[in-house]
Structure 1
């Protein structure tokens, strides 16, 4: 018996060993040009079993044109496909006969088309559709030698950049990756401006699913429009960057730059910036709600003012001085650990002079009421933010992804404001002369831990995501306000002199467990359970000045509050996905139970305990043809909880003429979202066409209710509201709709060497609101038209012309006096010309027109910037440039905001004319790419081994769901 067991064990081990060796064969080869036999660097080599449903694996050739594959099975037939820009694809079938098999040399022939005996050789395909990813070949678009990636992508059909916001096929781009990895967190504009166009091989545009959804292949509704920058194989080793410094009139200055070190998987980038010309090199992450200055937007170019070098992303109105520093690092350690991290610091000083005009119409007589104010605000904001992503491939079946985020903020601000309320006949109701200071600091921390396991049976998987979020904020503010009440003879005025102490903190713990199981040949089932617990606390203590000892020691109980909030959700669901030929469908339903428990601790005790039970259906239908035609419709229901600020029942008297307060009785919102998208793209079409419809319908929408006092009125909390003063608080109202449609068309015009992008859109918004307990629905209809024409002539001449127009019609159900038609348009042009021995001329002109706004707000102005420079040093690495900003002295900033209760027009301070002399040094030092080890890209960078559901889900680069 013992000998029998020993023999059996020997046979099993021998079979296992033989199987392991059989599946560990290696093939090698070399790819060269068929004409001059030179190696082809960076060619894509795909290897797959010679079966209809086989999933390919990829490598790229090294600087010698060589490639290798490991882990193949002997005595098995494989198909090899080699592709590269301007070459014909090469397909060959081979049978693996030995452990290490050299396939020899593969010769690629250049793509040639015969047109009446005229040969067109090596024409680069500008755009291809690969699955649900639109891929642009950078070689097909000509840019200046100093161009950034942002300059490059603006030439691509369907992609535009406006005031730092990137849109692709009509949708805002939320993330930009470099070779599938994050770069400076999620700051899209910073990434595009930091990378030179010359290192880019391809630009990929797709909807990136969450890490968990990529793994399962089921869309969880959290997809983000993403651009992935694929760098050239011969630019993956080297140092590159740009350093600049300039000084000009009125003590205007700028200095900074970026330097990157790439060596295969190891990449280090350093950026810095210091200026006082509104180049705001940061994103909205750097503010995180701690600012209290007037940053409520500005139209046109006024809020920016940095010309073609504008770094503005979510910036502030007015004039801003910025000091920032950033570091990005990524590396791959062995075959198991992939690390990406970034640190970013900035300090901004902002000043802003602003005028605001609001018009209200009151039911029941009395006509319109107007509120006007002028303000001057200054603020200093400091921010540190750190982002990491650690991906650990434990083995072929298990991965662990950890993504921590941490930021610290500190903000100091001071403002002076004079506000005045009046009636349509000119009668004055009240006024306030307000001085405020605020000092606020806080931090935000978040972390996701995602574990993914793929079972041996293809399509069976389990994944668990654990999410943690914590935040804390505290501040000290002072308010001094002299108020006049022109209709109150008993109390014609008063003075407020107060100090307030605010604090808020919150913690959220969440988990999401997902299990998938194959059903039949083409189906897959998903079961999911989600639990979330959010706890938050907010407190505000207000003290009046004690004149006896000149201290803030007298507690104002009417303006003091302490509030606790807890929101708990339990959600379980089931989904089924079916893939058949070119169609994919997904049906699902979630059952959610949520509890909202709120407790007011001061100045009196009150408790709100609400439970909500919801059914949340979802549906997806997608058609995707091999020719590049795609159709996708997606429907999902979701809920949205009120914030602690909206729930906290304490009056904020920062502006005594316009008080605000929360509402502890708020319910959660219930939203229905429908997205429909149709697109045509691909190498067979010299254009891209995208049509989209987005509709959101909200029940229990959280909107503002405004009460305007007709006479001195005592509120339930004891505060007296003088005539003309307002109190605004949130309430729940049904009937909110938001619909947006867009058609985007992009086409290169080869005979004229131009790229043309055309967009046409129609929006409809139905916003409910309440004013003096009467409901009003504001219906806004907007038609937009956009046109961008960019050159593709040469590297020495680059120009862009653009037009954007918006016509808005506003109609109100009970306030026809607020009905309004207004039109805004912008026409701009930019030219960059290099001629002679390194001479450079740059100019950009932007005309803004506003019609139909309030009196004094209809304007037409032109912002013209121009520069002339000379390149010198070796390889033209140096440049000296003289720039004049706002040559015509017409820069302006205006905006209109139409709400359900009022119409607001606003102007903000802008940067005026200045001249600056700037020196720029460009660093370009690229080396040779080391011979890579066998690198498999499972459906793009960061993919998960095992490959996913055939054709299922929104995949694109970075996906790789574990389907079957």
Structure 2
């Protein structure tokens, strides 16, 4: 019995020691002036010679840090990074006799130069505060091999992403996402967050938006929007991403399409193409706007119907806008770059094609007193359309307070529509009373030319600015309509009518 009790006591003691955790606390100061505390320094914790980060903390606004949930009897290595100070390393072991270890005051020496500093990549801190920028080391936040930037951002403390992809940092909205300090595909946040792989990111930097401060000098700190800058790994300064799909079905139905994006330094190119006879859009409007580049170059007109078909700037991207069965195809490219002088240049060309066929048959019965008429109408309509869209955008900063934007756009539409209408009328004795044939054809072209310019100038005096906008447009629609109509009447007998227009 005594042996059993002793064994139970040993087990309970072992479990208690295993469950017990320790803490380490300390204060960071400047070695030259110990009254100067080092605030928001990063304390990274590693096990012995292990290179895998165990945990980390930032010192508070008094230079004090406290790290909890450390195992007893394990040798740890503290690596302390503070902006403009040399790296400080200290080995500690937390014991059961002293589970709450206070390392006291740790003095860091100011960094004089970087020439003699040895940087151990495995000891890179997960977070570094550099003046007004918070910098996260991406490798310290583990994600799946298939993860994208959005998955990485969700791992960062203080970063929240809603269901629509909107990003908040410590309760502040994110106004821009940059890649290596430059706009990525026109500054669309979700192009970067939902398409760039997480494993190509070296650092994630968070800072206040300086333009927001310039626009409103009285803005309170809690309302200043944030900018996220994604620094790519040195070996990766160019790449490509996109999606390709294809499918088939009964009755010779098919669909295929793809969107590809290529980027290198400050230049980005988007290319898309699609084709189907399934009466559906080749892409979602979100894909065309974001990945396809229309959001970067601008949209002058939009049409959407309840079935999901849509057109942008007069270009149909598939799906019937007015019923019927449609074959559609299209393609184009969007180019975006920044010159050495900082001028943003965008150019695009898109072609859309649609072939819409409608076959409709209607039977109508009319009762006029004792008379009954049976009317049959059969109509066939084939509408074929081509659309071309050329566009561009130039944005230049003339000086630190003046910005000039020029946006030319040309849309060309070509239509070729053919239709037939056959009508027959029988009486209640099923005798033919009349019949008719109608053939129509509509050929036309439309040209739409627009030029929009905008000059925005901020004055040095707060709250004063000048905004000048000039829009020039020209529209031209030419069409030829042909109609041939033949009507025959049998009861009562009347002359036939023939009309050629």
TM-score, normalisation: structure 1: 0.26
Higher relative contact order (CA 8 A, sep 6+): 1
Structure number with higher strand proportion: 1
